[in-house]
Chain A
Amino acid sequence: MPGETTKRIQQLITESTHTQTEFAAQAGLDASKFSKSMSGVRRFTSLDLARIAEVGGVTVDWLLGIDRPAPALAARARDAATSEQEAIAEAERLAQLWSDLAFLGHKQPQVAMDPVVQRGRFVDQGRRLAEVALRHAQKLDSEPWKARDLAPLVEDLFGIDVRIMRFAFGYEGLSWGDDTCKIMIVGTSEVPARQRFTIAHELGHLLAEDDQELHLDPNLSDAEHRKAPSEIRANAFATEFLLPQDVLREKARTMPWSDQSFAEVACDLWVSPVNLAWRLFNLKLISNEQCTRFRGMRAIDAAMLAGRMDTHWQWIAAAGQPRISVPLVRATFLAYQRGDTTLRPLANLLGLDTDFLRQAMDGAREESPLSS
Chain B
Amino acid sequence: MSYYVYWFPDNTVLINFACVSRLDLLEEILRGRGRWTDAIADEANQSARFYPALANIARDAWLGDPIEVTDPNEIMIIERIRRAAFGGTRDKPRKHLGEAQTCP
Contacts and interface: CB of A to CB of B under 8 A. Distances in A.
A51 B76 CA distance: 15
B93 A100 contact: no
Residue with the greatest number of chain B CB neighbours at <10 A, chosen from A46, A61, A101, A340: A46
Contacts of B96: 344
Contact of A50 (B68, B70, B93): B93
Interface string B81-102: 0011111011111101100010
B84 A347 contact: no
Nearest to B94: A50
Contact of A46 (B84, B92, B101): B101
B86 A60 contact: no
A228 interface: no
A60 B85 contact: no
Given A46-B75, A61-B79, A66-B76, A101 B84 contact: yes
A64 B87 contact: no
Contacts of B85: 104, 340-342, 345
A326 B76 CA distance: 28
Contacts of B78: 46
A44 B87 CA distance: 24
A5 interface: yes
A49 B78 CA distance: 12
A186 B59 CA distance: 55
Contacts of B79: 46, 60-61, 64
Interface in A99-155: 100-101, 103-104
Contacts of B84: 97, 100-101, 103-104, 335, 340-341, 345
B86 A344 contact: yes
B69 A45 contact: yes
B80 interface: yes
A244 to B, nearest CB: 41
Nearest to A50: B93
B87 A345 contact: yes
A41 interface: no
A96 B101 contact: no
Interface string A1-41: 00001000000000000000000000000000000000000
Contacts of B39: 46-47, 50
B27 interface: no
A196 B79 CA distance: 38
Residue with the greatest number of chain A CB neighbours at <10 A, chosen from B71, B80, B92, B101: B80
A100 B83 contact: yes
A54 interface: yes
A46 B37 CA distance: 10
A46 B74 CA distance: 9
A190 to B, nearest CB: 32
A53 interface: yes
B102 to A, nearest CB: 11
Nearest to A347: B87
Contact of A64 (B68, B70, B72, B90): B72
B99 to A, nearest CB: 8
A66 B101 CA distance: 19
B44 to A, nearest CB: 13
Nearest to B66: A47
Nearest to A93: B89
B65 interface: no
Contacts of B68: 45-47
Contacts of B91: 59
Interface in A314-356: 335, 340-342, 344-345, 347-348
Nearest to A341: B85
A169 B94 CA distance: 33
Residue with the greatest number of chain A CB neighbours at <10 A, chosen from B86, B92, B93: B93
Contacts of A340: 84-85
A96 B80 CA distance: 10
A363 B71 CA distance: 44
Contacts of A43: 70-71
> Closest 8 A-B residue pairs measured CB to CB?
A344-B87, A100-B84, A43-B70, A50-B93, A45-B68, A46-B69, A345-B87, A341-B85
15 contacts: A45-B38, A45-B68, A45-B69, A46-B97, A47-B38, A54-B92, A54-B93, A60-B90, A61-B76, A66-B76, A342-B86, A345-B83, A347-B87, A348-B87, A348-B89
